[in-house]
């Protein structure tokens, strides 16, 4: 299942309903590294051990880009009930991303 694309407005509305942890890949369409990051996230998502994933085109997200002070793309934003919890720019490997995003043990 592909990562769900959201608009900035959809994500802002969705953030009010978050329970637990989720992640947002902030990207630009012409960024090759962003495409690689998305492929790695697809692999992590297939494990079903990852938190819910979304993606957001940073070109159309001026409010969140400013609020979260996104310095570059790809940026993996980990969000929770309180808002932004962590930003990760160096998506080094599938294993690294998996450890960042794995669901807490029940």
Taking a C-beta distance cutoff of 8 angstroms, is the pair 41, 72 a contact? no
Q: How far apart are CA 22 and CA 51, in angstroms?
A: 5
User: Is this model's pTM higher than 0.75 or not?
Assistant: yes
Domains identified in the chain and CATH numbers: 4-94 (3.40.30.10)
Q: Is 49 exposed, middle or buried (0-12, 13-18, 19+ CB in 10 A)?
A: exposed
The reported pLDDT for the residue numbered 95 is 92
The reported pLDDT for the residue numbered 47 is 83
Express each pLDDT in 29-82 by its tens digit: 999 999 999 999 999 988 877 789 999 999 999 999 999 999 999 999 999 988
- Please state the φ and ψ torsions of residue 102, each to the nearest 5 degrees: -65, 145
């Amino acid at each position: 299942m592909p990562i769900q694309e959201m608009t900035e407005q959809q994500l802002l509305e969705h953030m009010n309903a978050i329970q637990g942890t989720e992640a947002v890949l902030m990207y630009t369409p012409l960024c090759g590294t962003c495409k690689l990051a998305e492929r790695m996230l697809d692999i992590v998502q297939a494990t079903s051990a990852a938190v819910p994933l979304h993606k957001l085109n940073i070109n159309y997200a001026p409010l969140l880009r400013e609020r979260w002070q996104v310095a570059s793309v790809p940026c993996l934003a980990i969000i929770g009930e309180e808002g932004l919890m962590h930003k990760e720019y160096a998506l080094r490997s599938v294993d690294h991303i998996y450890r960042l995003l794995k669901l807490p043990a029940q």
